[in-house]
Structure 1
Amino acid sequence: MVRILVADQHALYRTGLRVVLQAALPDAEFLEATDLDSLMRGLQGEQHIHLALVSLNLMGSASPNVIWDFKRASGLTRYVVISTEGTFDQVLHYIAEGFHGFLSTLQRDDEIVESVRDVLAGRLSIPRALTPFGSAAESHRPREAPPRRSSVQQSTFGLTPRQKDVLTLLADGLSNREIAQALHIAEPTTKIHVSGVMRVLNVRNRTEAAVLARDLIQTSAIDPEPRSKPRQGKTKPRH
């Protein structure tokens, strides 16, 4: 049974979030925490917590590296930040430190459910409204992209077929070794492709590449299924 811990100081929000998620995940068990102490007790309990949804307000002034306190309490739990406000770069900072996603209290119920399912499935999740591509609603009107990523959408279509395969697997959080195994290519070759993807997308690291890849998959800009041929017998990795 999946166990989800909702940590927020406001009983009304905890209850509302639990009701929404329980309707979509009826087989899940939900626990609540009202402060950091009760959160840590829940993580250290005998029953494993699969997902912890932690309010940014509850963490107070704690920096993103508070994730290591959480992981020391329960290393296999996946952690998501809940907040009303946050920029794309701020959220990426939390992801880079080890959080697995970000939930905005302004998101629709169906978006929250989708995000939770993504994180439980092992993927990263960030509200599309915070990404450089914006929300689906915003796509119907012109918007100015951040200067540093102004060419991201156009340059995506300059990716080679193999780079698109690599980008799709990056979106699922796979390491270079796992990508190499999935595509039956050498790990050094994978590193070259990952570097090329980050250069084309004009991103700083693989975390940003993974987040943008998820957005591109949702907008059908790239194929969500990487092309991979089954390995027959003992063959050398293809480059």
Structure 2
Amino acid sequence: MKVLLIDDHAMFREGIALLLRPLVAELQISEAGSCEQALALLAELGAVDLVLMDLGLPGISGVEGIALLRERFPETPVVALSSSDDKATVLRALDAGAMGFIPKSANSAILIQALRLVMAKGIYLPPSVFLGGRDSGPAEAAASAPASEKKSLQTLGLSPRQIEVLYLLLQGKSAKLICRELDLSASTVKAHTSSVLRALNVTTRTQAVVAASRLGLRFD
């Protein structure tokens, strides 16, 4: 598995790398100190399996950096890292295309849990995103389900192909890219997308990320 860490603090990158190595066999970790450096590195490396990106980078930063990374390398899933975990910040990162959000203020046990989840193709979001406020409604209802009601992908009633569409959608991939990756027509992808959003009781991709996280869905 190839992972790119983007953070302007070398000690933090080293710390995250130390936490990651025991979690995944045959792990290859690359590091960048800025979004600009990361873009150049990705152009050289090609696709990686996961990008962990700090929102407080010098130069291009925050949601602008996520959006640019997703635009240039749409096949690469991005998980945001930030010292701020308020709901507005988390949702802005998700709107920009992030697949998850890990607070840098989390204690080591939670940080390891979050990293283990995202490395296993799960979605981690901080508890703040499940509180009231923006995006209340269908996504909020799904996010408010008690832990005992967490669902598996099978219990959602999705077909194997719809599960593939859901995972790519959560990664922030466009309908055009999903069509290409799965070799499906635009109308078929549109139908599958409608089905998976309906299964999660949401209407947008950001709401789907929130709901999938709260339901504990995994794609490994």
In which range does the TM-score fall when normalised by the shorter chain? 0.5 to 0.7
Residue in structure 2 matched with residue 75 of structure 1 by the alignment: 74
Q: Which residue of 1 aligns with 2:129?
A: 131
Report the counterpart of residue 105 of structure 1 in structure 2: 104
How much does 1:195 deviate? 4.8
User: In 2, Cα distance between the equivalents of 1:188 and 1:80?
Assistant: 27
Deviation at residue 83 of structure 1 after TM alignment: 0.5
Superposition deviation, residue 93 in structure 1: 2.3
Aligned residues: 190
| Correspondence 1:146 to 2:132 | yes
Alignment match, 2:211: 212
Which deviations, in whole Å up to 9, do the C-alpha atoms of 1:79-128 show, x marking residues without a partner? Answer: 1111110322331222122111111112244433443444445443312x
Superposed, which structure 2 residues align to 1:1-239 within 5 Å? Answer: 2-58=1-57, 62=61, 64-127=63-126, 129-132=127-130, 145-146=131-132, 148=136, 153=144, 165=157, 173=167, 191=194, 194-195=197-198, 198=201, 205-217=204-216
Please give the secondary structure, in 2, of the residue aligned with 1:24: coil
Amino acid at match of 1:104: P
**Distance of aligned partners of 1:6 and 1:196 in 2 relative to their CA distance in 1, 3 Å threshold:** closer
Aligned to 2:47, the other structure's residue is in SS state coil
Other-structure match for 1:229: none
Look up the equivalent residue of 1:83 and give its one-letter code: S
After superposition, the Cα gap between the structure-2 partners of 1:65 and 1:10, relative to the gap in structure 1 and judged at 3 Å, is: closer
1:109–1:61 distance in 2 versus 1, CA, 3 Å? same
Matched to 2:128, the amino acid is: L
CA 1:71–1:190 in structure 2 vs 1: closer, same or farther (change >3 Å)? closer
Describe the shift of the 1:40–1:77 C-alpha distance in structure 2 as closer, same or farther (beyond 3 A). same
Return the alpha-carbon distance in structure 1 between the equivalents of residues 118 and 75 of structure 2.
13
Contact residue 4 and residue 50 of structure 1 kept, 8 A: yes
RMSD across aligned positions (CA): 4.1
Structure 1 residues 89, 151: closer, same or farther in 2, change over 3 A? same
Residues 9-44 of structure 1, C-alpha deviation per residue, up to 9 Å, x if partnerless? 111111111111112224201111112232112111
Q: Decide whether aligned partners of structure 1 residues 71 and 28 sit closer, same or farther in structure 2, where only a CA change above 3 A counts.
A: same
Q: Note closer, same or farther for the CA distance 1:102–1:188 as it changes in structure 2 (3 Å cut).
A: closer
| Deviation (angstroms), 1:56 | 0.8
Larger Rg: 1
Gaps of 5+ in 1: 133-144, 178-186, 219-223, 225-239
Identity score, percent: 20
